[in-house]
Amino acid sequence: MTAPAPAEDRTRTARRPLLAWLAACAVGGGLALLAAGRVWVTLGTAGGPAGAGGGSLTGNDLVAWLTPAALAALAAVLAVLATRGVARRVTSVVVALLGAAVAAGAWDGTRGGTIAAAAAGHVTTAVTSAGHISVESRAWVWPVLAAAGGIVLAGAGAAAVVLSARWPGMSSRYERASGRAQTGGTARVKDADRAMWDAIDEGDDPTA
pLDDT tens, 87-104? 999 999 999 999 999 999
CATH classification (class only), 15-169: mainly alpha
pLDDT of 13 above 60: yes
The per-residue pLDDT for range 135-187, each reduced to its tens digit, is 778 999 999 999 999 999 999 999 999 988 888 766 544 444 445 545 555 55
When the pLDDT of each residue in the chain is averaged and rounded to a whole number, the result is 79
Q: What confidence score (pLDDT) does residue 178 get?
A: 46
User: What pLDDT does residue 17 have?
Assistant: 86
Average pLDDT over residues 63-67: 95
Does the pLDDT at position 40 exceed 90? yes
* Nearest-angstrom CA–CA distance, 82 and 128: 51
The helix or strand, by DSSP H or E, that contains position 86, with its residue range, turns out to be: helix 85-108
Q: What is the pLDDT of residue 137?
A: 85
Q: Which residues pair with 135 in a beta bridge?
A: 43
Amino acid at 168: P
* pLDDT of res. 120: 81
Burial 112-131 (b: 16+ CB within 10 A, else e): eebbeebbeebbeeebeebe
Closest to 31 (Cα-Cα) out of 99, 77, 87: 99
How high is the pLDDT of residue 181? 47
Domain extents in the chain: 15-169, 171-208
- Percentage, residues of the chain above pLDDT 70: 64
| Mean pLDDT within 121-136 | 62
pLDDT at 75 over 90: yes
| pTM listed for this prediction | 0.71
Average pLDDT over residues 115-135: 69
| Mean pLDDT value across residues 74-96 | 93
What would the mean pLDDT of 38-64 be, rounded to a whole number?
78
The answer to whether residue 68 scores a pLDDT higher than 70 is: yes
**Nearest-5° Cα angle at 73, 68 to 79:** 125
Higher per-residue confidence, 5 vs 197 = 197
* pLDDT, position 43: 85
